[in-house]
Structure 1
Amino acid sequence: MPELPEVETTCRGISPHICGVKIKQLVVRNSRLRWPVPAELTSLVQGHKLLSVTRRAKYLLLNFGHGSVIMHLGMSGSMRIVAAKTPPAKHDHVDMVFANAKVLRFTDPRRFGCVLWCEGDVHGHKLLAKLGPEPLTDEFDGERLYLRSRKRKSPVKTFIMDNAHVVGVGNIYANEALFNAGIRPTAEAGKISRPRYQRLAEEIKAVLAKAITQGGTTLKDFVGGDGKPGYFKQQLQVYGRGGEPCVACGKTLKEVKIGQRATVFCPQCQR
């Protein structure tokens, strides 16, 4: 599933090609995504200039001045820039054709993504209004995690993946940040000390920033806005490595399920 680094990579990849350019045509081949693509979307965006492309959590926001398109990649989606004459494939559901002959193509084999419209303040939309702070900003730090974690009995991995506390810490990067911080993912969130949360917040920031520079992580379907895969997979220290030796101590990595998500940790390095 594309996580924050993959969405940020997509945002940075597509923006230079389409910002400041008018949409010539909107092509919706399949409107049956997680929520139906609005029938009126064509009339709302066609002929209008795209002013900016930004990201909030795992959502891409395309601002047209009179409203915004909210896009989510779902479990298997991607958005990339293709030439206008590039024929669509089976799962290419939505095309935004721009006046400069560039096409923003939304591909989603499992159709868990979305393409929605919002008038007014997009950050007030029900999908965005209650989200926590961005992890790579000063609003997010260890003090916030420590204070919000008090009396919580859930595993710390579940806690940091909750978008109400901080957005965009998906499964892959939660595994990696907890390993770097030396914290066992099954540890009770409310029992972790302030200094350890300060270290964890630093590692969350570091692992996400590093993943963005590597273009995200491609495990199966994801490609960036330029159609290229992400290369952070080569940097993974625990995720997907259950049963293999720890890169730090050599002890066998253990894999468990937390919230039905694969969780890998070192029983010696993480406590």
Structure 2
Amino acid sequence: MPELPEVETVRQGLAPFLVGSRIVRVELRRKDLRFPFPEHFAGRLEGRRIVALNRRAKYLLAMLDDDQVLIAHLGMSGSFRMEAGAIGAFKFPRDKNPAHDHVVISLETGCLTYNDPRRFGFMTLAATDTLAEHPFFVGLGVEPLSNDFSGQTLARLFAGKTTSLKAALLDQRNVAGLGNIYVCEALHRAGLSPLRAAGGLTGAASEILARTVRAVLREAIEAGGSSLRDHRQADGALGYFQHNFRVYDREGQACANPDCRGTIIRRAQNGRSTFYCPNCQG
């Protein structure tokens, strides 16, 4: 599933073409994705102008000029592509089967197509002034790239928790948008074991972890995210952060830390694969 860097990469790629553009026509090629489309979905979008394109956790939020918000989630395999003569042809070839093009949005600036082979993604509409109370967002935690995210914030959120540090970071009620890849990578860079109790995180360690989480996310966004199976940027390009993985999917390989002679292991943790170096992640 795309994590925060992949969704932010898509947002940054689409924003120059979507923001300020008017939606001319919406074609729904099926009645649902993961969920049914809202009633009169196409008609409620047509004629509206997109005034901003934001992100909350792993959701894309297109703010419309009638105080509605188009909420989109990419699910496991969803992707958007923007095509327009003014933009030019894609720099990279696309391998998405057009049979899975489920939503086509015609705008003044071109054509935005949503492709989703597994159909785990979805789109819906909400009123702007009720967005914070929407079921998708009401329980979400702090954004890790916001000014509210700090070591002090992590220490407060994790105080007294006996759950593992990795599980606490993945809990969207604590930190919004983090996923398995970037939690594994951040914990390794911070030298922290994913197995330790979250409530035992010291003040100094929490500051290091907060800085590291932020740095890993920014590095991943700069690299266009991680392309493992389905992720593509809005122009069709692959992300490249997977080439910078230090632990994720590197089971049996030498630890990337130059002063460590450990080997990366994989352990099942809360139903997910955890990759870490037991030698340097104390």
Same fold (TM over 0.5): yes
Which of the five TM-score ranges fits, normalised by the shorter chain? Answer: over 0.9
- Partners of 1:199 and 1:88 in 2: CA distance: 43
The residue matched to 2:50 in structure 1 has which SS? Answer: coil
Map of 1:63 onto structure 2:
63
How far residue 245 of structure 1 moved from its aligned partner, in angstroms, is 0.9
Structure 1 segment 113-262 matched on structure 2, within 5 A:
113-121=121-129, 122-248=131-257, 249-262=260-273
Equivalent-residue separation in structure 2 for 1:79 and 1:194 (angstroms) = 41
User: What is the CA–CA distance in structure 1 between the aligned matches of 2:25 and 2:97, rounded to whole Å?
Assistant: 15
Q: Report the CA distance between 1:88 and its aligned residue.
A: 7.3
Contact 1:10 1:80 in 2 (8 A): no
Identity %: 38
Query: 1:226 Cα shift?
Result: 1.0
Post-superposition CA distance 1:58-102 (Å, at most 9, x none): 100011122011000011111121248x997021111111123x1
Following TM superposition, by how much is the alpha carbon of 1:105 offset from its aligned partner in structure 2, in angstroms?
Answer: 1.2
Describe the SS at the equivalent of 2:139.
coil
Instruction: Verify: 1:32 aligned to 2:32, yes or no.
Output: yes
The aligned counterpart of 1:106 is 114
- Flag the 1:88–1:41 CA change in 2: closer, same or farther, 3 A: farther
Q: Give the distance between the partners of 1:65 and 1:234, measured in 2 at CA.
A: 40
User: What is the CA deviation profile of residues 193-237 of structure 1, one whole-angstrom value per residue up to 9, with x for unaligned ones?
Assistant: 121111111100000010001110100100011111111011110
Aligned-pair Cα RMSD in Å: 1.6
What is the CA–CA distance in structure 2 between the aligned matches of 1:48 and 1:88, rounded to whole Å?
29
Specify whether residues 268 and 88 from structure 1 end up closer, same or farther in structure 2 by C-alpha distance, changes over 3 A only.
closer
SS in 1 for 2:194: coil
Unaligned segments of structure 2, at least 5 residues: 90-95
Per-residue deviation, residues 118-156 of structure 1 (Å, max 9, x unmatched): 123223322112211211111011111112212211110
CA distance in 2, matches of 1:16, 1:115: 21
Tell me the SS of whatever aligns to 1:44: helix
Moved more, 4-13 or 252-261: 252-261
TM-score by length of 2: 0.91
* AA at the equivalent of 1:268: N
Name the count of aligned residue pairs.
269
Corresponding residue number in structure 2 for 1:48? 48
Q: Distance in 2 between matches of 1:30 and 1:133?
A: 35
* Unmatched tracts of structure 1, length 5 or more: none
Contact 1:19–1:50, Cα closer than 8 Å, also in 2: yes
- Which whole-Å CA distance do the structure 2 matches of 1:105 and 1:206 have between them? 32
CA distance in 2, matches of 1:133, 1:26: 34
CA distance in 2, matches of 1:91, 1:115: 15
